[in-house]
Chains A and B, each alone.
Chain A
Amino acid sequence: MATVRLSFSPAPVHVRTARLVGVAVARRAGVAEELLDEVRLAIGEACTRAVALHNQYRIPDLVMVEMSDSDSYMVRVIDRAPIEASIGLTKLPPDELAAESLTDEALTTGVGFALLAGFVDDLQVRPVDEGAGTEVRMVWPVHRR
């Protein structure tokens, strides 16, 4: 099993780096070529969410991304925001998406979660084992090498 870990300051500019690394490791792990766009998008969404939460709660800690492959390709994106920040994550119904009352933040959060749920068959969002924070765990199949 190979593991690659990446930690970055919670700034938008670094999300692209995390996407690039995540896709490079996925390719090497044997994730099918046709899934790589989805891997890129999902890692980006999970990291964007983590950066937004750190900024919202003024948490300077690093966002952690861990990529590992064994029987499958697993990516964990870990933030340090209070767990209640993740309560209410839900996919928005179409008639609410362009509602005037919906804030930009709520729209982006809802759409981001819809993308994660839509593109990742094996997705878990759960509290970290120790301290504050949430782990977004995404798993993709790999070809046997």
Chain B
Amino acid sequence: MELSLTTRTVGEHTVLDVGGEVDVYTAPRLRERLVELVDGGSRHVVVDLARVDFLDSTGLGVLVGALKRLRAANGTFGLVCAKEPLLKIFRITALDQVFPIYSSVEAAISTSSGERDDNPPTA
């Protein structure tokens, strides 16, 4: 399934809905969109992976890149993911200890709105 990227604004957060397959072929498009968002002034970014059905190391690398870019800009970056196969990927790579991962967009937004620091989420 092709990669789909849709951006919406919720309060001061930018939510990027990602769907389809994020792999070595499609990840550059995701990277480009995330760079555009940060360069365009977005400082609180939530990436919703609910409709992603494949994610590989290249996609994970792009997400880490976005996290680093937003950290450098004093922003926040969160992921929404409730699918066990994807969560397993984050656990195996230990990236679950790097990313704030939430079970819903609402949880991501409410947590990062209230905590503009490095407190880990509970989700």
Please list the residues of chain A having a beta carbon within 8 angstroms of any beta carbon in chain B.
12-13, 15-16, 19, 37, 40-41, 44-45, 48, 51-52, 91-94, 97-98, 100, 104, 107-109, 111-112, 114-115, 118-119
* Interface of B: prevailing SS: helix
Report chain B residues within 8 Å CB of A45: 56-57
From B33-41, B60-68, B107-115, give the one contacting chain A: B60-68
| Number of B residues, CB within 8 Å of A | 23
Annotate B45-67 by CB proximity to A: 1 below 8 A, 0 otherwise.
00000000010111011001101
Report chain A residues within 8 Å CB of B94: 91-94, 97, 114
Q: Is the CB of A112 within 8 A of B56?
A: yes
Q: Is the CB of A115 within 8 A of B97?
A: no
- With A48-B57, A51-B24, A115-B56: A98-B89 Cβ-Cβ less than 8 Å: no
- With A94-B97, A104-B65, A115-B57: A16-B25 Cβ-Cβ less than 8 Å: yes
Q: Which of A13, A44, A52, A114 contacts B93 (CB 8 A)?
A: A114
Please list the residues of chain B having a beta carbon within 8 angstroms of any beta carbon in chain A.
21, 23-25, 54, 56-58, 60-61, 64-65, 67-68, 71, 85, 89, 92-95, 97-98
Q: In the complex, A48 Cα to B59 Cα: how many Å?
A: 12
Residue among B56, B60, B71 facing the most chain A CB atoms (10 A cut-off): B56
Question: CB-nearest residue of chain B relative to A92?
Answer: B94
Q: Is the CB of A119 within 8 A of B25?
A: no
- With A15-B24, A115-B93: A108-B68 Cβ-Cβ less than 8 Å: no
